């Protein structure tokens, strides 16, 4: 189960953190690694300005945690990267 938190980055931006999102997926170079899914644990931080949402209480102006975790889960489950770095870059591109 993933846990999300929001905090200040110290430079006027907010940080949304998703910790320990467990996803099953294929990653690896060797053939034996690519034959079955593995547990892949994803933690990420999104730096953004939450002031517009916070000052208006308009949820359409904020980051939807559910959308973030669904996008990451879908990417990891459907991709077949050879490296963890490839997974990380794929996640960065989706978000």
C-alpha of 48 from chain center: 14
Beta bridge partners of 39: 24
Q: Is the pLDDT of residue 1 over 70?
A: no
Give this prediction's pTM.
0.81
Please give the pLDDT value at position 10: 55
Residue with the bigger pLDDT between 78 and 14: it is 78
By residue range, what is the domain housing residue 90? 3-94
pLDDT at position 49? 87
| Top-confidence residue, 59 or 7 | 59
Q: Give the chain's domain count.
A: 1
Q: Measured between alpha carbons, how far is 67 from 11 in angstroms, rounded to an integer?
A: 26
Specify the pLDDT at position 8: 59
Q: What is the domain-level CATH number for residue 75?
A: 3.30.1130.10
The pLDDT tens digits for 32-88 are 989 999 999 999 999 888 888 888 999 999 999 899 999 999 999 999 999 999 999
- The pLDDT value given to residue 15: 87
Q: What is the pLDDT of residue 6?
A: 56
The length of the chain in residues reads 95
């Amino acid at each position: 189960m993933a846990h999300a938190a929001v905090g200040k980055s110290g430079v006027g931006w907010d940080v949304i953190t998703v910790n320990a999102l467990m996803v099953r997926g294929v990653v690896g170079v060797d053939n034996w690694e690519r034959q079955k899914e593995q547990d892949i644990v994803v933690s990420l931080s999104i730096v953004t300005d939450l002031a517009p949402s916070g000052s208006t209480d308009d949820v359409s102006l904020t980051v939807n945690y559910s959308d973030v975790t669904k996008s990451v889960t879908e990417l990891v489950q459907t991709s077949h990267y050879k490296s963890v770095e490839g997974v990380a870059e794929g996640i960065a591109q989706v978000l």
